[in-house]
Amino acid sequence: MPGRLRSRLAKWCLVPLCLAVGLVGPAAAGADPSPAACDARNNNSADKLLPCIQTNDLWNHMKAFQAIADANPGLDGHPSRNSGEPGYWQSVQYVAQKMKAAGYDVTIQPYKFTYTSFVGTPTWSETSPTARDLTLVSDWNPGTSNGTANADVQPAGGIVIPPTETSSSTSGCTSGDFSGFTQGAIALIQRGGCNFGVKVLNAQAAGASGVVIFNEGNPGRTAVTNGSLLDGDNNPFVPTIPVAFTSFDTGKSLYDEYHAGTPPHMNLSINVVIDPNRDDWNVIAESKKGDPNHVVVVDAHLDAIYGAGMLDNASGSATILNLAEKMRKVNPKNKLRFIWFGGEELGLLGSDYYVSHLSPAELGHISYDLDADVTATRNYLIGVLDPAGPDLFGRTVTATFPDNVYEPSKIARDMGVDYLNSIGKNHEFLSPVGTDAFSFNAAGVPASGVLTGQDCCKLPEEVDLFGGTVGNYEGNIGTFDGGCVDNPFRWCDNLSNNDPEVMTFMSRTFDNMAIRMAFNKFPDQSTAQAARARAAQRSRSTAALRGSPKVGRRFPAQ
């Protein structure tokens, strides 16, 4: 609702007053200083720093990340900076070299994770009675599965057509649904009643050579779907037969052809690689000066989810890299720790590893976290992270934090709002859930940051605030298809998916927060007190992460 969204806006400060008390320190009137002047001076205030945050510098880093992706295709044959792949490692090297050149102490922190990738492009076609190639994304999505099937399609039991108003199908949920099933056929199964993986395991046991799962057909369950393959105990597994997910209409057409006496004959091929022990890395670069008892972490995730990952999140990575370079001569009051995390798209792997491997004393020294997660969306919104805000995708509050986390998180949040007000930009508050800031909030560290949304899910209320258009990748509200960022088969999150003008004003917004927190006076408290308070929050992390639509881009299990 428009009123609900507008109610999340912070109160507008009077710009003259903000400037008078030095809250914002935007650029003085006139042209921005030259790059040489910016490099030569100590940018130790917002007045000095923000005019030095210039489009060319940001865009040069973006072009470098795109070149890295182009030179390092993934197993699907397309440019890639995904975690665990050569393009990600080269991104790590690029950031580490730039930060060493800027005079920071640099560490590359390794960790292990389970790597998954499609090999080549999955295919699905019907040869009879209708000859057609089904198109990825618009017609179907492949499950994480391995195999090739060339056979007739046979419906499993339990299919409910026409569908009821609410979910009632339990198709494929029991072995009895495959009574009389022809070995080697491709099983056609309707969504509903149990985990997708349970349906697939029952089909495998009945001798199916492949599985097609179609949406149930109830309101809200009609479009092309996708799903996580979990067994009855919610454990993931990789079937040894190919699994396709499709819409209700496609499933019904196959069902109708079968019952018309002309069983559809289909070819289905999916190939994935699973490596349970793949290397991944965080890049950590620390200022040589500043109070080590009060560390301000400035972070972005360096990994992509599918492909080049230029919007999500080369943009945020370039924002903090450029900031660090422009602050290389600054002697901050608080120590600055710039971190580029891996594995964010797979479940905040890098930030969770980093936070969980800190000693209580080390964790106690971190006073604040600032996260830049997407800063250049063309059809943008302007989000400022607030631990009490709604998440980007579900637009509901899915995590809450105690006052010792929430109240100080508003400090940098309001600094971001101050700057946006000073340049005449609206904003909204959004949750850190699904971003690396959440790993810090969950450990008891106050956090804020910025994001500009994605090309999937802009609301009409946000068009009122920020301009642009509603909806998802096609501009249609009401469905989620991932757009360029979240879909493995569009390969379009490239440099052209970013707006340099948006990136510039959002980077300045973020950098206003960072430079002021670098000199912020934090309350004195003993390391033991801080550690105890933060340790009490760690248990919250896993449950809240699982509720996040963004973390790992997890699909429904049923």
- Written as one string, the DSSP assignment of 148-213 is EEEEEEEEPTT--SSPPSS----TTSSGGGGTTPPTTPEEEEES-SS-HHHHHHHHHHTT-SEEEE
* Contact call for residues 480 and 393 (beta carbons, < 8 A): yes
Average of per-residue pLDDT across 474-497: 71
pLDDT of residue 13: 32
In this structure, are strands 265-270 and 147-155 parallel, antiparallel, or unpaired? antiparallel
Phi-psi region of 307 (alpha: psi -120 to 50; beta: other; left: phi over 0): left
Q: How confident is the model at residue 485 (pLDDT cuts 50, 70, 90)?
A: confident
Q: How confident is the model at residue 5 (pLDDT cuts 50, 70, 90)?
A: very low
pLDDT of residue 244: 98
pLDDT in tens, 373-432: 999 999 899 999 999 999 887 788 888 899 999 999 999 999 999 999 999 999 999 999
Lowest mean pLDDT among 49-58, 71-80, 475-484, 490-499: 475-484
Round the average pLDDT of the chain to a whole number and report it: 88
Q: How confident is the model at residue 504 (pLDDT cuts 50, 70, 90)?
A: very high
- Residue in the block written with tokens 């037969």: 241
Distance from C-alpha of 90 to C-alpha of 377, rounded to nearest angstrom: 24
Helices (H) and strands (E) in the chain, counts: 17, 16
Q: How confident is the model at residue 16 (pLDDT cuts 50, 70, 90)?
A: very low
Q: Which backbone phi and psi does 285 adopt, to 5 degrees?
A: -130, 125
Lowest mean pLDDT among 309-318, 473-482, 543-552: 543-552
pLDDT of residue 32: 86
CB-based contacts of 191: which residues, under 8 Å, 6+ apart?
Answer: 169, 171, 213, 214, 215, 216, 221, 225, 227, 558
* Contact call for residues 99 and 452 (beta carbons, < 8 A): no
Q: How confident is the model at residue 111 (pLDDT cuts 50, 70, 90)?
A: very high
Residue 4 burial class via C-beta count within 10 angstroms: exposed 0-12, middle 13-18, buried 19 and up: exposed
558 or 506, greater pLDDT = 506
Single out the residue of 178, 227, 185, 226 nearest to residue 205, CA to CA.
178
Q: Supply the Cα-derived Rg of the chain in whole angstroms.
A: 25
Distance from C-alpha of 352 to C-alpha of 342, rounded to nearest angstrom: 10
Tokens representing 540? 């919250």
Task: Give, in order, the Cα–Cα distances in Å from 464 to each of 425, 426, 457, 469.
Answer: 12, 10, 14, 9
CB-based contacts of 344: which residues, under 8 Å, 6+ apart?
Answer: 301, 303, 313, 350, 351, 373, 435, 436
Torsion of CA 319, 347, 390, 453, to 10 degrees: 40
Distance from C-alpha of 145 to C-alpha of 272, rounded to nearest angstrom: 6
Distance from C-alpha of 347 to C-alpha of 328, rounded to nearest angstrom: 32
Phi-psi region of 552 (alpha: psi -120 to 50; beta: other; left: phi over 0): left
Q: E strand or H helix at 285, and its extent?
A: strand 272-286
In this structure, are strands 105-118 and 243-246 parallel, antiparallel, or unpaired? unpaired
Label residues 419-454 b or e (16+ Cβ within 10 Å = b).
Answer: bbbbeeebbbbbbbbbbbbbbbbbbbbbbbbbbbbb
Distance from C-alpha of 248 to C-alpha of 440, rounded to nearest angstrom: 41
- Whether the per-residue pLDDT at 529 is higher than 90: the answer is no
305 or 163, greater pLDDT = 163
| Cis amide leading into 276 (omega within 30) | no
3-state secondary structure of 85: coil
Lowest mean pLDDT among 49-53, 335-339, 393-397: 393-397
- Whether the per-residue pLDDT at 320 is higher than 90: the answer is yes
- Whether the per-residue pLDDT at 118 is higher than 80: the answer is yes
3-state secondary structure of 424: coil
Tokens representing 7? 């109610």
- CATH, domain range 2-96+104-117+276-550: 3.40.630.10
Average of per-residue pLDDT across 479-486: 64
pLDDT of residue 17: 29
What is the assigned CATH class of domain 123-270? alpha beta
pLDDT in tens, 132-153: 999 998 899 999 999 999 999 9
pLDDT in tens, 161-191: 999 999 999 999 999 999 999 999 999 999 9
Query: What are the residue ranges spanned by the domains of the chain?
Result: 2-96+104-117+276-550, 123-270
**Number of Cβ atoms within 10 Å of the Cβ of 23:** 20
Distance from C-alpha of 213 to C-alpha of 227, rounded to nearest angstrom: 9
